Structure 1
Amino acid sequence: MTPDFDFRTVDPLKDAELLHPWVTHPKAAFWMMQDATLVDVERAYMEIAADEHHHALLGLRDGEPAFLMEYYDPARRELVGLYEPLPGDVGMHFLTPATDTPVHGFTRAVITAVMARLFEDPAVARVVVEPDVANTAVHALNEAVGFVPERTIRKPEKVALLSFCTRERFLAATTATEVAA
């Protein structure tokens, strides 16, 4: 059974202490905030909160913070000049915090919930991701929810695998998974 999640906007001042160990943990190396101080995390999320084209949400399970998601307009942030955006494109990142008691299937449930949340907006036609080419674990998760890699791109901070998932591919991938479960 897939867990139910709720979402709320990140409050940079209140949530920085929660997020700091999440984003600086070695498991979060691809988040690229390993050396961030608490103040750095606060500032980073204050910048996102002030940006009309970039948003950060906490995913809640039973009312408790369980993961972080960000979404952005790739025509204005992150991917400007690196691909030709289409109307309805939205960029996405997600992070599940490190834990000593991992739950089998949790991260897949998270990415499924994140994608469902994005596709709740009828204006969203396609989700765009650009994970590090070395992040093979997230490539597998992306594929499981319908992403199709297009090509590698060079960003200032990494070489990334540009991938896309349409609403139709997401529904096909997740419906097939639910039927098989």
Structure 2
Amino acid sequence: MTSENLTFTLRPLDPAADAGLLHGWVTHPKAAFWMMRDARPQDVERAYLEIAADEHHHALLGLRDGEPVFLMEKYDPAHRELVGLYEPRPGDVGMHFLVAPTGTPVHGFTRAVITAVMTHLFEDPATMRVVVEPDVDNKAVHALNEAVGFVPERVIRKPEKKALLSFCTRERFLKAVSA
């Protein structure tokens, strides 16, 4: 099976209904950089209830054929995550994504997911630039980010990690995915 012609749909995350599913994802060894490995199901539900109540942070589930396969978060970096760590521009949108663990990996699946996430973010004409701040040691996500057009700017220190602040404009994204 290959990742060609994968189609995803998105729906808002339901913290109460989806907490059990997410708990399995965020505590999986593959999700070490998500920093929730020791979370209990109620911790996961509480974290996503907080996001659901936050006007500057949103969580969505990505579905393939109706089955949840990834988590996407978008946030306003002028109000969350990066406050005081860089100078946000109008149209900046922060993003996190997590692909569900699987016993049957599909070559190119994660790249298809990040491409779908970026496509969704840039569907909003107000989005000018996507901002990410992955852990400096997360080499796999740095390669994925580069593949869809992100350019690293600098290493920043967040309370929970040392992160690589990177940006992707709409133009860089479109050029990267059309190459």
- Asked if TM exceeds 0.5, the reply is yes
Distance 1:173 1:140 in 2: 13
Pick from 135, 149, 152 the counterpart of residue 152 of structure 2: 149
Question: Corresponding residue for 1:13?
Answer: 16
Aligned length: 176
Aligned to 1:99: 102
Task: Kindly indicate whether the alpha-carbon contact (under 8 Å) linking 1:2 and 1:109 is maintained by their aligned counterparts in 2.
Answer: no
DSSP 3-state at the match of 1:132: coil
Alignment-mate amino acid for residue 69 of structure 2: A
Q: Does residue 113 of structure 1 match 2:128? A: no
> Partners in 2 of 1:2 and 1:20 — Cα distance?
29
TM-score by length of 1: 0.97
Shift of 1:138: 0.1
**Does residue 25 of structure 1 match 2:28?**
yes
SS in 2 for 1:150: strand
| Residues 85-127 of structure 1: per-residue CA shift (max 9 Å, x gap) | 0000000000001111100000000000000000000000000
Distance 1:9 1:110 in 2: 16
- 1:179 corresponding residue in structure 2: none
1:57/1:68 contact within 8 Å kept: yes
TM-score normalised to the size of structure 2?
Answer: 0.98
1:51 match:
54
Q: Given that residues 48 and 56 in structure 1 are in contact (C-alpha distance below 8 angstroms), is that contact kept between their aligned partners in structure 2?
A: yes
State the distance in 2 between where 1:127 and 1:37 align.
Answer: 31
User: Percent identity, aligned pairs only?
Assistant: 80
Q: 2:76 pairs with 73, 76, 91, which one?
A: 73
Partners of 2:112 and 2:130 in 1: how far apart?
A: 17
**How many Å apart are 1:2 and its aligned residue?**
3.3
Give the distance between the partners of 1:148 and 1:158, measured in 2 at CA. Answer: 19
Residue 132, structure 1, aligned to residue 135, structure 2: yes
Q: What is the distance in 1 between the residues matched to 2:150 and 2:71?
A: 20
Please provide the CA RMSD for this pair.
0.5
Cα distance in 1 for partners of 2:131, 2:141 equals: 13
